[in-house]
Amino acid sequence: MSASFKVSTLLPASPERIYKAWLDSSEHGLFSGGTAEIDPVIGGAFTAWDGYIKGTTLALTPYTRILQSWRAEDFPEEAVDSQLEVLLEAATGGTRLTLVHSNLPDEQAEEFKQGWADYYFTPMNAYFSG
């Protein structure tokens, strides 16, 4: 079985600004707190959180959508890669960032759902507010 969820937050920056930062190694590392290496093209590989996360960018729609394969170091060996869809929509006060994370191992889904809030949304809000 595989689990999925959707989480969102409002960030004080434009969709273009957030899109570019997500795909930039330096900025991704700054707003997340861990080093990132990102090849920002379709088919490009990436790592985040000091190599804990790795994957490939599958699709890009400038300033609105990023689709990536996504795998954490502690996924069970037999687990397939998950899929992360990053959706950006202009909203009053900035951008509504929505993450749709699918094909996660059932036993880890809640942990990753909370992780997006703790390790991405909270520091991203501080980073883009600064």
Half-sphere exposure of 84 (CA within 13 A, CB side): 23
Number of domains the chain is built from: 1
Q: Residue 18 phi/psi, 5° resolution?
A: -70, -45
Contact 129, 95 (CB under 8 A): no
Question: What number is the average pLDDT over the span 118-124?
Answer: 96
pLDDT digits (tens, 9 = 90+) for 40-67: 999 999 999 999 999 999 999 999 999 9
Contact 66, 22 (CB under 8 A): yes
| 1 has pLDDT over 70 | no
CB-CB neighbours of 2 under 10 Å: 13
Question: Which pLDDT belongs to residue 130?
Answer: 85
Contact 18, 128 (CB under 8 A): yes
Question: Which pLDDT belongs to residue 2?
Answer: 86
Tokens of residue 74, six digits:
């502690």
Q: pTM for this structure?
A: 0.96
CB-CB neighbours of 63 under 10 Å: 17
Domain encompassing residue 13: 2-129
Question: What number is the average pLDDT over the span 3-11?
Answer: 97
Q: How confident is the model at residue 27 (pLDDT cuts 50, 70, 90)?
A: very high
Instruction: Say which CATH number the domain at 82 has.
Output: 3.30.530.20
Question: What number is the average pLDDT over the span 78-106?
Answer: 97
Q: Which residue matches tokens 């080093």? A: 35
For residue 20, give the DSSP letter. H
